């Protein structure tokens, strides 16, 4: 494996003066040439050699952050260097645009149609070495766009190979993507299909018809995405042939280990052609993943956007922790959702299937919710996930089977109803919010005897919780009213006209209390919310108990 050393040539710290500009400007010039489709080899060599780690820190120092990252350049190199970097940023943003990277026109068009105009850090870091054919190990925070990091170079090369050729029926795959869960596999399939609709992409996983997947493969396929178990079934049955695979991706390799797929993964890798490019993506690097990379990757380049920091959560996720008794958890849950999700999507994570069902059932009296766990059929699972995506209900109560690979945009709140088993699970659960640079909240519920575990979690993950109490009556009522008002603003004007006469009569009879009554009823508070006073008393007693324990 390549040495984990940052090359001296990447260091831009230098004595003040004009000479200190040379490394940055040379690298920027090389990158411009690459972006315009010239001198590929020279540009790649300037950015990373076989023995380097291209880190997030290096990106900040090089000023290659792109137009949307707003990286703070202060503190890197001299003042003169910083001024020069600032002056180049606008031009670099243009040259780092999707349209300026030498990608096939059809790929650029589909990406821009999806609103993707610039690359994220992990995508920029992977693109050049991937196009050079290098084997890669990439570490990135959850929710940073890693699917397209391997998808763009893979799609580019397949499209260019097919130029001027008519795809044949029955062709066998040239790209194979392994994912630990069916949800992640489907998310990867969706990204590739939307980015390259002319390529044939097939997703295979357990729990659905084997024959359907066999038939899809027999028609001819360019990219296969799947979970290891079903892939092995199809290989053993002769339906999936791997003899022409040139691109291998192991996505969330550390989670392959967590769900017990290590033997299946190695069985598949042993059947692949020796002449191939392999890319391994993993948030953490447990010993099995390191062994895998040594055995099956050829002198891989490590691209590390996590580094030595323990924090692997995407920026923008605000963490809260609230001490509660076991019995008060369920009582306060709906209030936390009302205040911290503000009408948006929430995922509540439980440890057991029974808890998921019971918590979801308890919530439905005040908030529309459904449960997701391993006992639910694949058909029902997809129906539930689609309903959640479309906003038919706003709360999904799930076990950890759903905490990895969920393709749910715009999740506003994550609630850890029970403490996760390990720091990695906490990171993957929380990573369902705050994706692609958006903000999100995560709340950890714990009992008084779990306080030490919470502190250990802070230390192991490298994060800091803001400790909070139950929402006050005013907070719940204000949030409920805001959500109702937002809903009312979405009512179609033509529908409103039918109710204007009745509204005018009510306003004349009751004045402002007519509207207040409607807001109270729609917020679910037809009766006075006196129960909140009891919860506040419980929290005061618990806080006193925690203070006495310290």
pTM of the model: 0.57
Q: Are 401 and 378 in contact (CB under 8 A)?
A: no
C-alpha span between 387 and 341 (Å, rounded): 18
> Cβ of 351: how many Cβ atoms within 10 Å?
15
HSE value, Cβ hemisphere, 13 Å, CA-based, for 446? 22
Phi, psi at 68, each rounded to 5°: -105, 0
C-alpha span between 254 and 520 (Å, rounded): 48
C-alpha span between 188 and 405 (Å, rounded): 9
- pLDDT tens-place values along the chain, 550 residues long: 443 333 332 322 333 333 333 433 333 433 443 333 333 333 333 333 333 444 444 334 333 333 333 333 233 233 332 232 233 344 455 556 888 888 999 999 999 999 888 888 888 889 999 999 999 999 876 667 889 999 999 999 999 998 877 777 779 999 999 999 888 899 899 999 999 999 999 999 988 888 999 999 999 999 999 999 999 999 999 999 999 999 999 998 888 876 788 899 999 999 999 999 999 998 778 888 899 999 999 999 999 887 655 446 777 899 999 999 888 898 899 999 999 998 889 999 998 889 999 999 999 888 889 999 878 887 888 899 889 988 899 999 998 865 556 668 789 999 999 998 888 788 888 888 887 678 899 999 999 889 989 999 998 888 899 999 998 888 887 777 777 777 777 788 888 888 888 888 888 888 888 777 777 777 666 666 655 444 454 455 455 445 445 5
C-alpha span between 290 and 277 (Å, rounded): 17
Distances 399 to 142, 347, 427 between C-alpha atoms, Å = 19, 10, 15
Could you identify the residue written with the tokens 């500009």? 21
Q: Are 256 and 242 in contact (CB under 8 A)?
A: no
pLDDT of residue 518: 76
3-class DSSP state of 398: strand
Separate counts of helices (H) and strands (E) for the chain: 23, 15
Helical residues (DSSP H) of 196-342, grouped into ranges: 210-218, 228-236, 253-258, 262-269, 287-296, 326-341
Name, in order, each residue with C-beta under 8 angstroms of 377's C-beta and a sequence gap of 6 or more.
207
Q: Which of left, alpha, beta for 30 (phi over 0: left; psi -120 to 50: alpha)?
A: alpha
Q: In this structure, what token pair is assigned to residue 281?
A: 């993506």
pLDDT of residue 482: 77
Q: Are 195 and 159 in contact (CB under 8 A)?
A: no
Selection from 263, 202, 264 nearest residue 232 by Cα: 264
C-alpha span between 100 and 364 (Å, rounded): 50
Selection from 415, 433, 511, 405 nearest residue 471 by Cα: 415
The helix (H) or strand (E) run that includes residue 413 is strand 411-416
Estimate to the nearest angstrom the gap between the alpha carbon of 91 and the chain centroid.
29
Domain 311-550 is in which class?
alpha beta
Q: Are 61 and 77 in contact (CB under 8 A)?
A: yes
What does CATH list as the number for 119-309? 3.40.50.300
DSSP category for residue 465: P
* CATH 3.40.50.300 domain residues, the chain: 119-309, 311-550
C-alpha span between 23 and 25 (Å, rounded): 6
> Cβ of 428: how many Cβ atoms within 10 Å?
25
Selection from 196, 213, 186, 126 nearest residue 161 by Cα: 196
């Amino acid at each position: 494996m390549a040495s984990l050393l940052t090359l001296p040539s990447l260091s831009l710290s230098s004595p003040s003066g004009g000479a200190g500009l040379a490394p940055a400007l040379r690298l920027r010039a090389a990158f411009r040439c690459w972006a315009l489709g010239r001198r590929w080899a020279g540009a790649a060599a300037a950015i990373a050699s076989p023995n380097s780690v291209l880190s997030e820190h290096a990106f900040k120092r090089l000023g290659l952050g792109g137009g949307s990252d707003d990286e703070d350049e202060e503190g890197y190199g001299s003042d003169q260097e910083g001024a020069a970097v600032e002056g180049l940023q606008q031009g670099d943003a243009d040259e780092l645009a999707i349209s300026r990277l030498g990608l096939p026109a059809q790929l650029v068009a589909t990406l821009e149609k999806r609103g993707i105009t610039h690359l994220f850090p992990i995508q920029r870091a992977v693109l050049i070495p991937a196009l050079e054919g290098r084997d890669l190990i990439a570490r990135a925070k959850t929710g940073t766009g890693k699917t397209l990091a391997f998808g763009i170079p893979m799609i580019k090369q397949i499209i260019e190979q097919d130029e001027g050729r008519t795809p044949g029926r029955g062709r066998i795959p040239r790209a194979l993507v392994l994912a630990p869960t069916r949800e992640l596999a489907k998310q990867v399939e969706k990204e590739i299909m939307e980015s390259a609709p002319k390529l044939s992409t097939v997703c295979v996983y357990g729990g659905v018809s084997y024959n359907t997947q066999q038939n899809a493969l027999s028609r001819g396929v360019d990219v296969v995405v799947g979970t290891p178990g079903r892939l092995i079934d199809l290989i053993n049955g002769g339906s999936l042939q791997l003899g022409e695979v040139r691109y291998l991706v192991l996505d969330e390799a550390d989670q392959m280990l967590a769900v017990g797929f290590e033997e299946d993964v190695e069985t598949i890798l042993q059947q692949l052609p020796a002449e191939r490019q392999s890319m391994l993506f993993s948030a953490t690097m447990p010993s099995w993943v390191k062994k895998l990379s040594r055995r099956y990757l050829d002198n891989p380049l490590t691209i590390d956007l996590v580094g030595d920091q323990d924090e692997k959560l995407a920026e923008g996720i605000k963490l809260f922790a609230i001490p509660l008794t076991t019995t008060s958890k369920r009582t306060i849950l709906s209030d936390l959702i009302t205040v911290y999700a503000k009408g948006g999507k929430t995922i509540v994570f439980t440890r057991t299937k029974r808890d998921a069902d019971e918590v979801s059932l308890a919530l439905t009296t005040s908030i529309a919710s459904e449960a997701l766990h391993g006992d639910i059929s694949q058909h029902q699972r997809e129906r539930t996930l689609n309903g959640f995506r479309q906003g038919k209900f706003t709360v999904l109560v799930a076990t950890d089977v759903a905490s990895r690979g969920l393709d749910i945009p715009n999740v506003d709140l994550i609630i850890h109803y029970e403490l996760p088993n390990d720091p990695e699970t906490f990171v993957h659960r929380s990573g369902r919010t705050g994706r692609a640079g958006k903000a999100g909240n995560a709340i950890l519920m714990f009992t008084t005897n779990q306080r030490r575990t919470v502190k250990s979690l802070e230390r192991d993950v490298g994060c800091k919780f803001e400790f909070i109490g139950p929402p006050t009556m005013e907070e719940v009522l204000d949030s409920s009213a805001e959500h109702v008002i937002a809903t009312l603003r979405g009512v179609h004007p033509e529908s409103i006209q039918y109710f204007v006469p009745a509204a005018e009569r009510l306003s004349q009879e009751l004045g402002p209390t007519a509207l207040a009554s409607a807001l109270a009823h729609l917020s679910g508070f037809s009766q006075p919310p006196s129960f909140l006073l009891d919860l506040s008393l419980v929290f005061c007693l618990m806080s006193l108990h925690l203070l006495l324990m310290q």
